[in-house]
């Protein structure tokens, strides 16, 4: 074996050690665990992954329809995501402007004169919370309605220069790892902060998606047409859409149609984080309604 072949084979073995279990993973939990372990080896132990297929021309769209995963502590997640601070984060603007690639936080944070006032507040919050060095990876997506990113925070004690040195050696590999993980996440049923549909509501929508009329579905399920119409109405309300076609489209985007009930649910590697976000959104909606 030549000296040039040794590092190449070593890199291939390392990548296969991650990619092999990744392709066999069947739940978000499994993928997230694999990713957290893999990136920790590079010095990143606090991660945030955000993904939405429902962005608008003016923003990221409803938070309730997005997937957020995190290995940060609950207090940080509730403030940064739940309080929507991330919307004013300088790296969020960078992702919207660049759509792919990676960015050292030092590249942006060291130029406060280029930051908006709200962005400087977010940077100050992160520093106060010990989130002082890291990288952001923007994942290329085929649709302008989609955004996906990873915010990778370095281990406590590591400086931005330490992480920049790591990135110089392994940055391309880390980007590939993040992209592979995203592709796997995007292929699995996605849990969001929306209220879940019941099994019967899902069944009705799946029959309608196959072209069955309400009368057909009522006959198949052994219930009345008004019962089918009620299931569809409640499903639309939970998904916050106007038509049944929109409900089916949204569930399809979230990979929740025709999920085998014999398989363990693929939802919720960050059940606490998801429930925290769901609770925050519900409380905010109630306060706005009372006002």
At 211-258, the pLDDT tens digits run 999 999 999 999 999 999 999 999 999 999 999 999 999 999 999 999
The answer to whether 196 and 34 are in contact (CB under 8 A) is no
Q: Output Rg (C-alpha) for the chain, integer angstroms.
A: 21
In the predicted structure, residue 56 carries a pLDDT above the cut 50? yes
> Which pTM was predicted?
0.82
């Amino acid at each position: 074996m030549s000296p040039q072949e040794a590092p190449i084979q070593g890199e291939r073995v390392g990548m296969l050690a991650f990619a092999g279990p990744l392709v066999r993973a069947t739940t978000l939990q499994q993928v997230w665990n694999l990713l957290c372990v893999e990136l920790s080896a590079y010095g990143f132990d606090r991660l945030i992954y955000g993904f939405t297929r429902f962005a608008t021309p003016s923003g990221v769209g409803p938070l309730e329809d997005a997937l957020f995963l995190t290995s940060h502590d609950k207090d940080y997640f509730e403030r940064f995501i739940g309080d929507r601070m991330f919307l004013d984060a300088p790296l969020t603007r960078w992702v919207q402007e660049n759509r792919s690639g990676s960015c050292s936080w030092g590249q942006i944070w060291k130029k406060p004169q280029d930051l908006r006032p709200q962005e400087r507040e977010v940077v100050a919050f992160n520093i106060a919370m010990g989130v002082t060095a890291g990288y952001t990876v923007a994942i290329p997506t085929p649709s302008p309605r989609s955004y996906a990113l990873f915010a990778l925070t370095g281990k406590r004690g590591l400086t931005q220069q330490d992480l920049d040195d790591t990135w110089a050696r392994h940055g391309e590999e880390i980007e590939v790892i993040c992209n592979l993980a995203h592709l796997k996440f995007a292929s699995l049923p996605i849990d969001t902060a929306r209220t879940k549909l019941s099994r019967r509501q899902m069944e009705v929508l799946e029959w309608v998606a196959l072209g069955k009329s309400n009368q057909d579905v009522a006959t198949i399920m052994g219930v009345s047409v008004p019962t089918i119409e009620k299931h569809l109405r409640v499903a639309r309300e939970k998904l916050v859409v106007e038509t049944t076609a929109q409900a089916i489209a949204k569930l399809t985007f979230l990979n929740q149609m025709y999920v085998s009930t014999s398989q363990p649910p693929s939802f919720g590697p960050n059940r606490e984080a998801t429930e925290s976000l769901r609770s925050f959104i519900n409380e905010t909606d109630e306060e706005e309604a009372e006002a």
